[in-house]
């Protein structure tokens, strides 16, 4: 997963396509980068011996997961509403995404009952991270569905939204 995510980051960031450096591409390239760093540091913390190094790497993994979640908030809003002229709608959707992510982390996470199995990270934080990841995936799914149902003359990129959904 880590290698695949870093390759996606490299492809998106080095693309010669003129649209590759717009908001959606930048957001998802950061998501891929942070996801890769989180997966790599998670595996490294689980495979290393107990001690200071394992604790630092596990904390870094939690940090990269949180960074990925924070990038998903505006990324999902950009998927649903990529046009700059609808800035007010994009801001409103970003605020809704923040509330949904917080709700998912606080309510859904403990109800799911699973953790990430990161050493040195409390079970409460791990369950909240699982809930927040669930919420972030739902944000991207709903944003993709919003983009799919918008009128065809309003924007391009419906096939990309179908891939994300």
List, in sequence order, the alpha helices (H) in the chain: 2-13, 23-47, 52-80, 87-103, 109-112, 123-149, 158-164
Buried b / exposed e along 141-155 (16+ C-beta atoms within 10 A): ebbbbbbeeeeeeee
pTM for this prediction: 0.80
* pLDDT tens digits, one per residue of 8-27: 777 766 766 665 557 777 88
More confident residue, 67 or 2: 67
Q: Where are the domains of the chain?
A: 2-164
Q: What percent of the chain has pLDDT over 90?
A: 26
- What is the distance between the alpha carbons of residues 66 and 131, in angstroms, rounded to a whole number? 12
C-alpha torsion sign, points 151, 156, 161, 163: positive
pLDDT at 60: 92
- What is the distance between the alpha carbons of residues 135 and 148, in angstroms, rounded to a whole number? 20
pLDDT at 16: 62
* pLDDT tens digits, one per residue of 137-155: 999 899 888 888 877 666 6
Q: What is the mean pLDDT of residues 117-124?
A: 86
């Amino acid at each position: 997963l880590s290698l695949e995510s870093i390759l996606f980051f490299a492809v998106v960031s080095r693309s010669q396509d003129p649209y590759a450096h717009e908001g959606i591409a930048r957001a998802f390239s950061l998501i891929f980068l942070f996801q890769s760093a989180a997966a790599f540091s998670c595996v490294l913390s689980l495979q290393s011996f107990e001690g200071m190094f394992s604790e630092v790497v596990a904390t870094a993994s939690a940090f990269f997961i949180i960074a990925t979640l924070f990038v998903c908030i505006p990324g999902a809003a950009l998927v649903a509403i990529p046009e700059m002229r609808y800035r007010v709608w994009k801001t409103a959707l970003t605020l809704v995404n923040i509330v949904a992510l917080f709700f998912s982390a606080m309510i859904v996470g403990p109800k799911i009952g699973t953790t990430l199995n990161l050493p040195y990270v409390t079970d409460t934080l791990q369950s909240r991270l699982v809930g927040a990841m669930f919420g972030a995936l739902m944000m991207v799914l709903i944003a993709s569905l919003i983009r799919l149902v918008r009128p065809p003359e309003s924007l391009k990129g419906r096939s990309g939204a179908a891939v994300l959904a």
